[in-house]
Amino acid sequence: MKFTKEITPDRQAKVIVDIDANQYDEYKQKAARKISNRTKISGFRPGKAPFDVVRRYYGENAIEEEALELIVREIYPAILKEADLKPSGPGQLEEIINKNPPKFVIKIPLEPEVKLGNYKSIKLKYDLPIVTDQEIDQVLHRLQINYATANAVDREINDGDLVSIKLNARLTNPGKDEKAEIIKDTPLQLIIGEPEGKSEPFPYNGFDKQLIGLKVKQEKKIYHTYPQNSNFEKLQNKEVEFTILIEDIRELQLPPLNNDFAKTVGNYESFLALKEAIREELLDSKTREYDQYYYDNLINQLIAISEINYPHQLLEDEIKHVLRDFEHNLAAKKMDLVTYLKLNNLEKEKFINEEIKPIAKIRLEQQLVLEELQRQENIEIEKDELQQAFEKSLTEIQTASDFQELRRRFTSKYLATSILTHTAAQLMNKHVLLRLKDIATGKVSEKVKTSKQTSEKSQRQPNGPKYNQRNKKG
């Protein structure tokens, strides 16, 4: 056997293999025996029919095809070893140049090549978020509303009232083939004067204030032109006529903020304990949001100064993973991908190329630079830490609602191995992100520290994005 190899810029090994005539004859003999072994030839036991008999029964082409399959399967490990190739996935027979004797081309996706830039020069201050008294007061106010009593009143609408309306909306100047009617006789309930959330509410910001002064059974028309940057894309730059009928007005009686209120909403010992619980929950939420931004920023800076080359097969695999995650999230909302695409008037191929592929590319490149950082910084996981984390994960899985279903579908050994692999990936993710953060904030000297020192230095696991270790295939 002779071969030549060429490494292409897209991290593929193109290997041209030449099999000499004598070696080919040996493989044809093996192929004939294999065909004879799995078929019935009159007068011969399985695998004992002579070569000429097998050729007469099944033809030269069948033997040659079987021989080529045997050659590729048997010499593939030798090619990887002799050519010093490290694959990231299975190779494929790309072209048959000649059949007798065989000369063919195998394409092998190689492991990614990552050359990190000067990552120790990356600097990014970490500012832990703070929780203000005003934010705590806003949560308390929402709790008050949830536990308020609503009493019907016969008067005009005031700030703070709970109002029920019937709403109609239509475009004042619909375009060609565009329906004027947007909604018809739609019930809507709102609290007048409540602060708007981060997202644009429907119908629009300040709509509730337009109802002040109205009484039950009164009707009002309002005209509103949506801005070009409105979240409601189909209404951008369009004027809408709203017709509102007031159906009910209720005055909210908010409970007083005291110890009794704290015990009602969560069995807290005191009102101060409730406020502290709210503060901790807000801090955790804000920290998670900030960590997502912080670590994405760090890693994207690392990507920007690094050279990353990988075979297209890795990106295709990541696209499948992202699409599977997307479908899983849809399933949680009782929807499938086909329905989602129809509702949004999308073609699947275009959706994957424009929406899924960019996400997959970012995720893959983030994974690759972090894996390389792990190698360069010699980051390892302590056995005791892994054991503790594994036991915690195992306990969480065993108490999950779908654990019995998992036990029916998988063996105990498979489940344990999967949990261990996932736990190890999470721990490594934790250590690499913490190391990157310490470098960026100036807490790590040029001398590399051990993962144990890094772990002891930071008690909190970063709440940044999850970058699981890739499954390496050979």
C-alpha closest to that of 106 among 96, 120, 98, 114? 96
* pLDDT value of residue 459: 41
Q: What pLDDT score does 449 carry?
A: 43
Q: Give residues with Cβ within 8 angstroms of 17, minimum separation 6.
A: 1, 2, 3, 75, 79, 102, 103, 104, 105, 106
Condensed to tens digits (0 to 9), the pLDDT of residues 180-239 reads: 999 999 999 999 998 766 678 889 999 999 999 999 999 999 999 999 999 898 899 999
Question: Among positive and negative, which fits the CA dihedral 265, 271, 277, 279?
Answer: positive
Residue of 303, 187, 207, 294 lying closest to 248 (CA atoms): 187
A 10 A CB-CB count for 53 gives 16
Q: What would you report as the CA-atom Rg of the chain, rounded to the nearest whole angstrom?
A: 33
pLDDT at 463: 57
The residue extents of the domains of the chain are 2-111, 149-253, 281-457
Closest C-alpha among 372, 387, 342, 384 to residue 435: 372
**Residue 192 DSSP SS3:** coil
* Length of the chain measured in residues: 474
Residues of the chain with pLDDT under 50: 446-460, 467-469, 471-474
Say whether domain 149-253 belongs to CATH 3.10.20.90: no
pLDDT for the residue numbered 134: 94
pLDDT at 434: 93
Q: Which CATH class is domain 2-111?
A: alpha beta
Q: What's the predicted TM-score (pTM) here?
A: 0.73
- CATH code for residues 281-457: 1.10.3120
Cα separation, 140 vs 136, in Å, equals 6
